[in-house]
Structure 1
Amino acid sequence: MGLGNTRDFGRFIASAGSSFNYGLRTEQWCVDKISRITPNEIVRGHIFYSPAIENALVSNRCISLFIYRDPREVARSLVNYLQKMNRFHRLRAYFKGLDPEAALLLAINGIPSCENIYFPSISERFRNYQGWLASEAVYCTKFEDVAGENQEQELRKIIRFYLHRSGSGEQTEDILKRMRGGLQPAKSHTFSGIQQQTWRDAFTPACIKAFKEQDHGLLTELGYEFSEDWS
């Protein structure tokens, strides 16, 4: 991402396991993986919040960013990924052949736990990460701010966080230049565009109704809506 003298070995830590089995990994598994992160190594992940995992990041002096996105965009992107990009993902069997509305409803409502696979509702899936929003161990930012018109302002905030935590004497402008060159979301294996509110083109009235039933105040808590009366 352009922060400091970093090394990227392509490591990825995920609480939900690999795409082939998609079963939950233990908290201790994540803690052990975090403890093995080497100095200046870039590691990506989808890691659920817990005090033990937070402590592991602090103990290993990890400088961590938590990037989240409008859950409606996440649902739309997930459908695109499972139906068009990753034919080996365990969840693909559930999404394959569904029409757009049915696929979105599945992404919103989840799969019953009796199916021996971890894929609850969109709200419950995000709640696993929500603790990071109150954590002082990480810098939290919206994907929309990093990729949108507020990008430079947000990158400068990230740089301030990095410089404060790392004690680096690097210049902000030098880091900013590298970060701009390193932000290439199109190279992500799940990339499906950075346009905002594309969910409006995909969500039918049934999808909006289902999301509101599962939301439980999530969108307002994250700052994507001012009330639950959205459409």
Structure 2
Amino acid sequence: MNYTIYNVARLYGRDCIFATKYWKEKIFNQQAKSLILCNSYPKSGTHLLYQILYSIPEFKFKMWDDIVSVQALCGIMNTASHIRWKIGSAPNHSIIRSHLMYCDRVLDVLKEFNYKTLFIYRDLRDVAVSHARWVTKEKRIFLHDIYLEQDNFDEQLMTSIKGLPLGTPFGSNVSQPDIGTDFSRWRGWIDYSKTLAIKFEDLVGERGGGSEEKRLRSVAQILDYLKINLSAEQIKTKFASHILNPEESHTYKKGNKGSIGGWKKMFKESHKKEFKRVAGDILIDLDYEKDLSW
């Protein structure tokens, strides 16, 4: 979907609604809101982290049924004002799912709130597979029609890896960076001192092909970051991976979501070569690989 007048008008209308809610609360509620930001690079396990957060016993922070993102589904980048208004329209003590890159403008917006940020990230090879599947299923996203015009999933996966240069197809104003360039805009959250960064692979547990010990240890880290005291037995009883239901995620697809290393079945040599070119160094930097010999 291109940058049409319809999309621009629709987004302006949407922002008017959020701005109205924001200013209404700003005028009548003087205290800064307390919020939990459940942030991720897209397709990295947002709902897995979100589900754990809203399942914490007697936690005063609750679910909020919306997502804050730097980019609208139609492809247009959202403004800093949109992010401020949308976050500000959420009720106090909300858990907010988000896809917000790490940059000064986002950090400036967040200064307005009392917030804690958790950031989940994942092996970008699995992200690429998940992204390609999602785009082919999600009719509202701007890349959907382009992906459907491609001959097979191999081509769609390659597009999720190397992106789309501006003007592809010819005459289009659609573009998408390669996965390495795109992730670099989120990379700063991992080292940001005020953020707890967690690997998807450490949190998914046995149900997704991971370690239950790592999962429970990661949950304990989350609880410690949020200053919540639960015993080891309580954590095991409440947060074992077989207890929480992945099908509650709106992007869940049975057999395709929530597992580690699925890329190994989908990547051809051409995919590996291109991925190493655009994002191989990131895998090494984040300890997913020791070198580029895979």
Shorter-normalised TM range: 0.7 to 0.9
Choose which of 152, 157, 160 in structure 2 pairs with 1:107.
160
Choose which of 70, 79, 92 in structure 2 pairs with 1:15.
70
Q: Tell me by how many angstroms 1:151 deviates.
A: 0.7
Greater shift, 218-227 or 34-43, is seen at 34-43
Question: Which aligned pairs between 1:45-84 and structure 2 lie closer than 5 A?
Answer: 45-83=98-136
Q: Tell me by how many angstroms 1:178 deviates.
A: 4.6
Q: Tell me by how many angstroms 1:28 deviates.
A: 3.7
Amino acid at match of 1:5: K
Residue in structure 2 matched with residue 87 of structure 1 by the alignment: 139
Residue in structure 2 matched with residue 33 of structure 1 by the alignment: 86
What is the CA deviation profile of residues 52-90 of structure 1, one whole-angstrom value per residue up to 9, with x for unaligned ones? Answer: 32344354121221001111001101111122x323322
| Matches of 1:39 and 1:180, distance apart in 2 | 29
Of structures 1 and 2, the one scoring higher in RCO (CA 8 A, sep 6+) is 1
Q: Tell me by how many angstroms 1:136 deviates.
A: 1.5
SS at match of 2:120: strand
| Matches of 1:175 and 1:43, distance apart in 2 | 23
Residue in structure 1 matched with residue 230 of structure 2 by the alignment: 171
Amino acid at match of 1:92: H
| Matches of 1:196 and 1:137, distance apart in 2 | 28
Against the structure 1 CA distance between its residues 27 and 175, is the aligned structure 2 distance closer, same or farther, given a 3 Å change threshold? farther
Gaps of 5+ in 2: 1-52, 206-210
| Matches of 2:175 and 2:289, distance apart in 1 | 28
Q: Tell me by how many angstroms 1:180 deviates.
A: 4.8
CA RMSD of aligned residues (A): 2.2
| Matches of 1:117 and 1:135, distance apart in 2 | 31
Residue in structure 1 matched with residue 12 of structure 2 by the alignment: none
SS at match of 1:62: strand
Residue in structure 2 matched with residue 140 of structure 1 by the alignment: 197
1:188 maps to 2:216: no
Gaps of 5+ in 1: none
SS at match of 1:102: helix
TM-score (norm 1): 0.86
1:230 maps to 2:283: no
The 8 Å contact of residues 22 and 90 in structure 1, kept in 2 or not, is answered as yes
| Matches of 1:34 and 1:88, distance apart in 2 | 22
Residue in structure 2 matched with residue 152 of structure 1 by the alignment: 216
What is the CA deviation profile of residues 191-221 of structure 1, one whole-angstrom value per residue up to 9, with x for unaligned ones? Answer: 3322211101000000001111111511111
Q: Tell me by how many angstroms 1:175 deviates.
A: 6.5
The 8 Å contact of residues 219 and 235 in structure 2, kept in 1 or not, is answered as no
Against the structure 1 CA distance between its residues 218 and 26, is the aligned structure 2 distance closer, same or farther, given a 3 Å change threshold? same
The 8 Å contact of residues 121 and 214 in structure 1, kept in 2 or not, is answered as yes
| Matches of 1:81 and 1:43, distance apart in 2 | 21
SS at match of 1:107: helix
What is the CA deviation profile of residues 133-184 of structure 1, one whole-angstrom value per residue up to 9, with x for unaligned ones? Answer: 1112211001111102121011001110111xxxx5x535556655558843
Identity score, percent: 23
Against the structure 1 CA distance between its residues 36 and 88, is the aligned structure 2 distance closer, same or farther, given a 3 Å change threshold? closer
Q: Tell me by how many angstroms 1:16 deviates.
A: 1.3
Against the structure 1 CA distance between its residues 177 and 10, is the aligned structure 2 distance closer, same or farther, given a 3 Å change threshold? farther
TM-score (norm 2): 0.69
Against the structure 1 CA distance between its residues 180 and 40, is the aligned structure 2 distance closer, same or farther, given a 3 Å change threshold? farther
Against the structure 1 CA distance between its residues 202 and 57, is the aligned structure 2 distance closer, same or farther, given a 3 Å change threshold? same
